[in-house]
Amino acid sequence: MSQLPDSQRVVVTGLGVIHGLGQTADTFWASLVAGKNGIDRVTQFDPAPFATQVGAEVKGWNVEDFMDPKEARRNDRYTHFGFCAAKQAWADSGLSMDKEDPDRVGVVVGSGIGGMLTYETQCRKLHEQGPRKVSPFTIPALIGNICSGIIAIELGARGPNFGVVSACATGTHAIGESMHMIRRGDADVMIAGGTEAAITPFAYSTFCAMRAMSTRNDDPATACRPFSMGRDGFVMGEGAGVLVLESLEHAKKRGARIYCEVASYAAEGKGLGAAMTRALRSAGVTPEQVDYINAHGTSTPYNDKFETLAIKRVFGEHASKLAISSTKSMTGHLLGGAGGIESVISAKTIHTRTVAPTINLHEPDPECDLDYVPNVARSAAVSTVVSNNLGFGGQNAVAVFRAV
């Protein structure tokens, strides 16, 4: 157990998700546990000219059901996702700004890429119609910090407020830095997570040029196959995952429902192994006390192999006893939103005592020989979870969650 006082222990009291598998945390989680796949042929643009034609899109969702239509038109899709997930998480927490000091409530919701759709749309207008047709809302819509600002304005939060940009580690960095703010006494409550909407022609062009994404276009449901033979790249996902964090002292005083504790977080440039080691040490957790790892598990040949090696190096003999899964097999890779949505998954894992599977794992890679919870969810008494996220630039982020 933590030796920190309750005023410095940070707990999760609210969860929000926007994703193609579910537009609330509960419906999303139910889909994951059922092993449903959110990946299909892309519909937001004609993918035929692209080497990769599949993605995990948010469909059947209208932002104007949650956001003022005029405000919605001024903001990018990535902000729409983060805004709606944050409002869900706030409602789920049971908090009311009428009962809080607004100066003690902050927001850090990051995006790895920001307003890509806005960027593409306005560049097209510039080239086709001239500079006078470019929207005056272009810059506010595309910058990566604006989602946090819009959430704060909506909820009336006046505490710490900024965006995080660290590629695919963004969401975990946002949650970890928010944890530190509460521990330092800068805030009582933080709304934290990640959001991304990069299923666009330009983004697909760039990742296809890198040969980073799967080209299994004839069978979208099996395109993302972490730790499997024949995996050939990641699959893009979109959406948001947002958490409400608060000090344990604050949560206890108001009788809040607590999902779990954010025990620690590490940001490390040396490598994933170093990040996991630092996160465990900071939490006061031994490797043998960890029950489950939500792996970065991108379904790229190198990531899955080297993440497996890093887990073996850090956990030693215990590595073979761990439950490990890549939920990206169902969600796709949300880039800057990955850490947010996977932190929601980590909290749900502890709260429901259920581990979501790695689907499409029918022919394991011999170099990936750990227990990846293949294809079917598993009931388990999970008390401590590690969530891994890695970003371009060598930015490794690891969060440790545990039962309270």
For the chain, give the number of residues.
404
Q: At 231, is the secondary structure helix, strand, or coil?
A: coil
| Amino acid identity at 113 | I
Per annotation, catalytic residue among 19, 80, 173, 333: 333
Catalytic site residue 333?
yes
Q: What is the dihedral of CA 5, 6, 8, 9, to 10 degrees?
A: 110
61 is written with which tokens? 């969702």
What's the order of all strands across the beta sheet hosting 10-18?
Answer: 161-162, 105-110, 189-196, 239-247, 10-18, 260-268, 395-402, 384-391, 292-294, 323-325
Angle between helices 25-33 and 77-93 (to 10 degrees): 100
Per annotation, catalytic residue among 168, 224, 260, 368: 168
Please give the Cα distance from 141 to 231 (Å, whole number): 36
Q: What Å distances lie between residue 350 and 219, 281, 290, 401, 402, CA to CA?
A: 33, 20, 12, 8, 7
**Residue 315: phi, psi to the nearest 5?**
-100, -10
| Amino acid identity at 33 | V
Per annotation, catalytic residue among 80, 173, 296, 351: 296
Read off the DSSP letter of residue 213. B
Please give the Cα distance from 217 to 199 (Å, whole number): 15
Catalytic site residue 168?
yes
> Looking at the annotation, which residues are catalytic?
168, 296, 333
